[in-house]
Structure 1
């Protein structure tokens, strides 16, 4: 999921000696902002985390920082480059994400709760889906899994495996989980079904898994549309898309939920305990967003 803030390392404001704003060993003693030119680089403007990042700039008095639109792929590439050279960097990160398995990262504390408490990923479907596709509806209503399970697919994809193949391999090696989700559901005969999702690593993993199960276990012919968050919600609300398993609530997609909640059906959380916020490599001394001043 979401945005990236390329900041620089900063000392903890509570460190003895007034070390706030600097990282141990910084060349020339440059401040956090100076090291990264006070640029905050995010992802697509439709992502709720971009709104939260803008709010954080205001709430924490980071008036010198500029939020710049970007992409998830650019963020992880920049993160990898920074970590390789042990340079300070701050990203607006989220879990589940494969980067937490690959790198030693930490969230910055958010005492003002701008990024909210832990979130959930929900499955949202179009009105009338239960009557039109009861088999798919039953499966989607049962579908729930853990961040560790999702992480297995995300890591495989990050290491170069095709998303569809990674999802298939996971389903085959966790057949007991798939059996529980599909037990006693009668397969259909080639009925068409349409999913939508945003191009976040977590949603790529979940949507490919759902597509594989719908096709291999339940007999559907599935189309999966990768779109921005706005069209994802609009498609389900208008009935052009049958379902999405990529609704981050209550914060990330709050605006879309407020707008479309009466036009869609929420089947509940397919994953709990997810989180968004500002993330840094462990070697960065900052521990709180307040330190970024």
Structure 2
């Protein structure tokens, strides 16, 4: 569902200055040489230094995404996040930032969501959110334009019956992250899950080149789901076009009838504003995936478990 080279340089420089000034590393082995109260202060200083090392910046995705809005809300809600900011760019740049940090065992805080391949590839955790800024579990829903059932009943029924699990989605996402073309990864998953796919097309007949346009936001999760359902519909005879758009235009294109549908609606939080603005001009076909989640994500090697553990910019 980012171009941050300047930020990477800033984080690297901040790390170097912090380590030089402190005269020690952040590992437990380096801290174990201290004695008495100095040994206890090591962990406190480590936690406090995360903000300094990160320039009090949370790496976000696209401006306007619900997880970014929730992160910005958290910055306002939590007193200990005073002086922090959410830097927006893209989901790809966020993934690059996270990957580089993990490979170098550096601290990083990103706006994250599941399903996502990063949880299968890296050892990550959500920070606890006592104030509930990120809400509870989410659903990914299918939305179509008004009139699709009358104009394209076979397409409507396939989209209505589309349903899979986070584990299914992550299989496709991980293969794409490994270098596979999204269409190839989608077809590989379809070939390995014929019974599940048959449930989506059950009761429908093949068509002869009927045109369908599906839109999606350019997130790894939505690249996976949109390519999978597109390949299924192609096999049923549809001429399918998939178009990547930003969050707002994605919703507006379906609401206006310029696009036929999407399987990329994260609710109630992530796309809550867009749903509220467009719900009267769009048809909600319900959840195609349950158990999604958003929040602040960090590598497990970071000694922080809750948003409340972070230190303000004093």
TM-score normalised to the size of structure 1? 0.91
d(CA) in 2 for partners of 1:199, 1:65: 27
TM-score normalised to the size of structure 2? 0.85
Q: Which has the higher helix share?
A: 2
- Pairing 1:1-293 to 2, within 5 Å after superposition: 1=1, 17=40, 22-23=45-46, 31-61=49-79, 62-216=81-235, 218-293=236-311
| Structure 1 runs of 4+ with >2 Å offset | 4-9, 16-24
- Work out whether residues 58 and 111 of structure 2, in 8 Å CA contact, stay in contact via their aligned partners in 1: no
d(CA) in 1 for partners of 2:40, 2:290: 41
d(CA) in 2 for partners of 1:56, 1:279: 13
Range 264-273 or range 82-91, more displaced: 82-91
How far did 1:22 drift? 4.0
What does the per-residue CA deviation read over 1:126-181, in whole Å, with 9 as the maximum and x for residues that have no partner?
00111111101111111110000111100110000000010011101111111111
d(CA) in 2 for partners of 1:255, 1:275: 17
d(CA) in 1 for partners of 2:214, 2:50: 42
d(CA) in 1 for partners of 2:287, 2:244: 21
- Work out whether residues 143 and 283 of structure 2, in 8 Å CA contact, stay in contact via their aligned partners in 1: yes
- Work out whether residues 198 and 227 of structure 1, in 8 Å CA contact, stay in contact via their aligned partners in 2: yes
How far did 1:246 drift? 0.2
d(CA) in 2 for partners of 1:252, 1:69: 15
Give the unaligned 5+ runs of structure 2.
Answer: 16-25, 27-38
CA RMSD of aligned residues (A): 2.2
**Number of residue-to-residue matches in the alignment:** 281
Give the unaligned 5+ runs of structure 1.
Answer: 10-15, 25-29
**Larger CA Rg, structure 1 vs 2:** 2
Structure 2 CA distance for partners of 1:20 and 1:262, relative to 1, 3 Å: farther
